[in-house]
Copies of this chain bind each other. A is one copy, B any other.
Amino acid sequence: MNDYIDPIAKLINQFTKLPSVGQKTAQRYALSVLKMNDADVAEFASTLLYAKQNVKYCSVCGNFTDIDPCHICSSRDNSTICVVCQARDVLLIEKTCAYRGVYHVLGGALNPMEGIGPNQLNIRNLLSRIKASTKEIIIATNADVEGEATAMYLARLIKPLNVKVTRLAQGVAIGSDLQYTDEVTLGRALENRKEI
Protein backbone atom coordinates (compact mmCIF):
# COMPACT_ATOMS: atom_id res chain seq x y z
CA MET A 1 0.00 0.00 0.00
CA ASN A 2 2.64 2.42 1.09
CA ASP A 3 5.93 2.81 -0.73
CA TYR A 4 7.09 6.03 0.85
CA ILE A 5 10.50 6.14 2.49
CA ASP A 6 10.48 5.02 6.10
CA PRO A 7 10.14 8.37 7.96
CA ILE A 8 7.17 9.41 5.78
CA ALA A 9 5.55 5.96 5.94
CA LYS A 10 5.75 6.04 9.74
CA LEU A 11 4.21 9.50 9.90
CA ILE A 12 1.38 8.49 7.55
CA ASN A 13 0.77 5.48 9.78
CA GLN A 14 0.46 7.72 12.85
CA PHE A 15 -2.11 9.94 11.15
CA THR A 16 -4.26 6.94 10.19
CA LYS A 17 -4.85 6.42 13.93
CA LEU A 18 -7.04 9.55 14.01
CA PRO A 19 -10.79 8.97 13.57
CA SER A 20 -11.96 8.53 9.94
CA VAL A 21 -8.52 9.26 8.52
CA GLY A 22 -7.65 6.81 5.74
CA GLN A 23 -4.44 6.29 3.78
CA LYS A 24 -5.03 9.19 1.35
CA THR A 25 -5.90 11.77 3.99
CA ALA A 26 -3.04 10.64 6.23
CA GLN A 27 -0.71 11.08 3.24
CA ARG A 28 -1.93 14.66 2.71
CA TYR A 29 -1.45 15.44 6.39
CA ALA A 30 2.04 13.90 6.48
CA LEU A 31 3.19 15.79 3.37
CA SER A 32 1.81 19.03 4.81
CA VAL A 33 3.78 18.44 8.02
CA LEU A 34 6.96 18.01 5.97
CA LYS A 35 6.28 21.41 4.39
CA MET A 36 5.97 23.16 7.78
CA ASN A 37 9.10 24.71 9.22
CA ASP A 38 11.06 22.92 11.95
CA ALA A 39 9.79 25.11 14.80
CA ASP A 40 6.14 24.51 13.89
CA VAL A 41 6.60 20.74 13.81
CA ALA A 42 8.41 20.85 17.16
CA GLU A 43 5.51 22.86 18.58
CA PHE A 44 2.98 20.38 17.17
CA ALA A 45 4.85 17.47 18.78
CA SER A 46 5.22 19.19 22.15
CA THR A 47 1.55 20.25 22.18
CA LEU A 48 0.51 16.61 21.73
CA LEU A 49 2.53 15.64 24.80
CA TYR A 50 1.48 18.73 26.78
CA ALA A 51 -2.22 18.08 26.18
CA LYS A 52 -1.97 14.39 26.98
CA GLN A 53 -0.07 15.08 30.21
CA ASN A 54 -2.24 17.92 31.46
CA VAL A 55 -5.75 16.80 30.62
CA LYS A 56 -7.42 14.62 33.29
CA TYR A 57 -10.95 13.45 33.88
CA CYS A 58 -12.86 15.22 36.65
CA SER A 59 -13.40 12.70 39.47
CA VAL A 60 -16.91 14.04 40.04
CA CYS A 61 -18.50 14.49 36.60
CA GLY A 62 -16.08 12.68 34.26
CA ASN A 63 -15.55 15.73 32.03
CA PHE A 64 -12.11 16.75 30.72
CA THR A 65 -10.34 19.10 33.10
CA ASP A 66 -6.94 20.41 34.14
CA ILE A 67 -7.95 20.81 37.81
CA ASP A 68 -9.89 18.27 39.90
CA PRO A 69 -12.79 18.72 40.55
CA CYS A 70 -13.37 20.68 37.33
CA HIS A 71 -14.36 24.36 37.40
CA ILE A 72 -18.00 23.53 36.60
CA CYS A 73 -18.35 21.02 39.46
CA SER A 74 -16.68 23.34 41.94
CA SER A 75 -18.56 26.54 41.12
CA ARG A 76 -22.09 25.72 39.96
CA ASP A 77 -25.48 24.85 41.39
CA ASN A 78 -25.33 21.08 41.90
CA SER A 79 -29.03 20.48 42.53
CA THR A 80 -29.50 19.88 38.78
CA ILE A 81 -27.34 17.36 36.92
CA CYS A 82 -27.35 17.20 33.13
CA VAL A 83 -26.32 13.73 31.90
CA VAL A 84 -24.49 13.61 28.53
CA CYS A 85 -22.80 10.83 26.55
CA GLN A 86 -19.55 12.55 25.63
CA ALA A 87 -17.36 15.30 27.08
CA ARG A 88 -17.81 17.28 23.84
CA ASP A 89 -21.56 17.46 24.53
CA VAL A 90 -20.85 19.53 27.65
CA LEU A 91 -19.38 22.28 25.49
CA LEU A 92 -22.38 22.24 23.13
CA ILE A 93 -24.77 22.76 26.03
CA GLU A 94 -22.51 25.42 27.60
CA LYS A 95 -22.69 27.36 24.32
CA THR A 96 -26.49 27.62 24.59
CA CYS A 97 -26.05 29.68 27.81
CA ALA A 98 -29.37 28.12 28.91
CA TYR A 99 -28.06 25.92 31.70
CA ARG A 100 -26.39 26.76 35.01
CA GLY A 101 -26.25 23.36 36.72
CA VAL A 102 -23.57 20.67 36.70
CA TYR A 103 -22.92 17.80 34.28
CA HIS A 104 -22.30 14.09 34.32
CA VAL A 105 -20.43 12.46 31.42
CA LEU A 106 -21.36 8.81 30.80
CA GLY A 107 -18.53 8.15 28.34
CA GLY A 108 -20.85 6.67 25.70
CA ALA A 109 -24.34 5.22 25.25
CA LEU A 110 -25.70 1.69 25.78
CA ASN A 111 -24.86 -0.35 22.69
CA PRO A 112 -25.07 -4.13 23.17
CA MET A 113 -23.87 -4.73 19.58
CA GLU A 114 -20.55 -3.12 20.47
CA GLY A 115 -20.43 -4.63 23.94
CA ILE A 116 -21.23 -1.41 25.79
CA GLY A 117 -23.47 -2.28 28.72
CA PRO A 118 -24.27 -0.34 31.93
CA ASN A 119 -20.96 -1.46 33.46
CA GLN A 120 -18.95 0.19 30.69
CA LEU A 121 -20.59 3.56 31.37
CA ASN A 122 -19.98 5.99 34.22
CA ILE A 123 -23.40 5.21 35.79
CA ARG A 124 -22.45 4.08 39.29
CA ASN A 125 -20.86 7.49 40.01
CA LEU A 126 -24.00 9.21 38.77
CA LEU A 127 -26.19 7.30 41.24
CA SER A 128 -23.82 8.10 44.11
CA ARG A 129 -24.04 11.82 43.22
CA ILE A 130 -27.82 11.87 43.72
CA LYS A 131 -28.45 13.30 47.19
CA ALA A 132 -31.43 14.72 49.05
CA SER A 133 -30.54 18.14 47.63
CA THR A 134 -30.74 16.91 44.02
CA LYS A 135 -33.83 18.37 42.37
CA GLU A 136 -33.61 17.26 38.76
CA ILE A 137 -31.67 15.00 36.41
CA ILE A 138 -31.79 16.19 32.78
CA ILE A 139 -30.97 13.38 30.37
CA ALA A 140 -29.30 14.89 27.30
CA THR A 141 -28.24 11.77 25.41
CA ASN A 142 -28.52 11.75 21.60
CA ALA A 143 -31.94 11.28 19.98
CA ASP A 144 -30.81 8.04 18.26
CA VAL A 145 -31.57 4.44 19.22
CA GLU A 146 -28.65 4.10 21.63
CA GLY A 147 -29.27 7.50 23.21
CA GLU A 148 -32.99 6.73 23.71
CA ALA A 149 -32.23 3.32 25.22
CA THR A 150 -29.71 4.91 27.60
CA ALA A 151 -32.26 7.57 28.60
CA MET A 152 -34.95 4.95 29.32
CA TYR A 153 -32.50 2.84 31.32
CA LEU A 154 -31.34 5.79 33.44
CA ALA A 155 -34.91 7.02 34.01
CA ARG A 156 -35.89 3.60 35.36
CA LEU A 157 -32.86 3.58 37.69
CA ILE A 158 -33.27 7.12 38.98
CA LYS A 159 -37.05 7.53 39.36
CA PRO A 160 -37.27 5.24 42.43
CA LEU A 161 -34.86 7.65 44.16
CA ASN A 162 -37.64 10.27 44.07
CA VAL A 163 -35.83 12.69 41.79
CA LYS A 164 -37.44 14.43 38.81
CA VAL A 165 -36.01 13.01 35.57
CA THR A 166 -36.41 15.03 32.36
CA ARG A 167 -35.34 14.55 28.74
CA LEU A 168 -34.42 17.16 26.09
CA ALA A 169 -37.49 18.20 24.07
CA GLN A 170 -37.85 16.60 20.65
CA GLY A 171 -39.50 18.37 17.74
CA VAL A 172 -38.99 20.50 14.68
CA ALA A 173 -35.59 22.23 14.55
CA ILE A 174 -35.54 26.04 14.65
CA GLY A 175 -35.37 27.53 11.16
CA SER A 176 -36.31 24.28 9.43
CA ASP A 177 -38.90 23.84 6.68
CA LEU A 178 -41.68 21.32 7.50
CA GLN A 179 -41.30 20.00 3.96
CA TYR A 180 -37.87 18.69 4.84
CA THR A 181 -38.63 17.42 8.35
CA ASP A 182 -38.79 13.62 8.57
CA GLU A 183 -42.13 12.06 9.54
CA VAL A 184 -40.95 10.61 12.86
CA THR A 185 -39.77 14.03 14.05
CA LEU A 186 -42.95 15.68 12.77
CA GLY A 187 -45.04 13.03 14.56
CA ARG A 188 -43.13 13.65 17.78
CA ALA A 189 -43.56 17.41 17.38
CA LEU A 190 -47.34 16.96 17.03
CA GLU A 191 -47.55 14.71 20.10
CA ASN A 192 -45.55 17.18 22.18
CA ARG A 193 -47.35 20.30 20.89
CA LYS A 194 -47.38 23.24 23.27
CA GLU A 195 -50.10 25.78 23.96
CA ILE A 196 -49.11 29.31 22.95
A6 touches B66 (CB 8 A): yes
Check: A87 CB closer than 8 A to any chain B CB: yes
Check: A49 CB closer than 8 A to any chain B CB: yes
Provide the residues of chain B in CB contact with A91, threshold 8 Å: 3-4
Please report which residues of chain A, range 42-88, place their CB below 8 angstroms from some CB of chain B when the two chains form the complex: 42-55, 64-66, 86-88
**Interface SS, A side:** helix
Provide the residues of chain B in CB contact with A165, threshold 8 Å: none
B11 touches A30 (CB 8 A): no
* Contact code string A1-35 (vs B, CB < 8 Å = 1, else 0): 00111111011011001111100000111111110
Q: Which residue of B lies closest to A19 (CB)?
A: B32
A34 touches B7 (CB 8 A): no
B14 touches A47 (CB 8 A): yes
Provided the pairs A51-B7, A54-B7, A91-B4 are in contact, do residues A18 and B32 lie with their beta carbons within 8 angstroms?
yes
Provide the residues of chain B in CB contact with A13, threshold 8 Å: 47
B27 touches A40 (CB 8 A): no
Give the 9 A-B CB pairs with smallest separation, nearest first. A11-B51, A45-B45, A7-B51, A7-B54, A41-B52, A45-B48, A14-B47, A18-B29, A14-B44
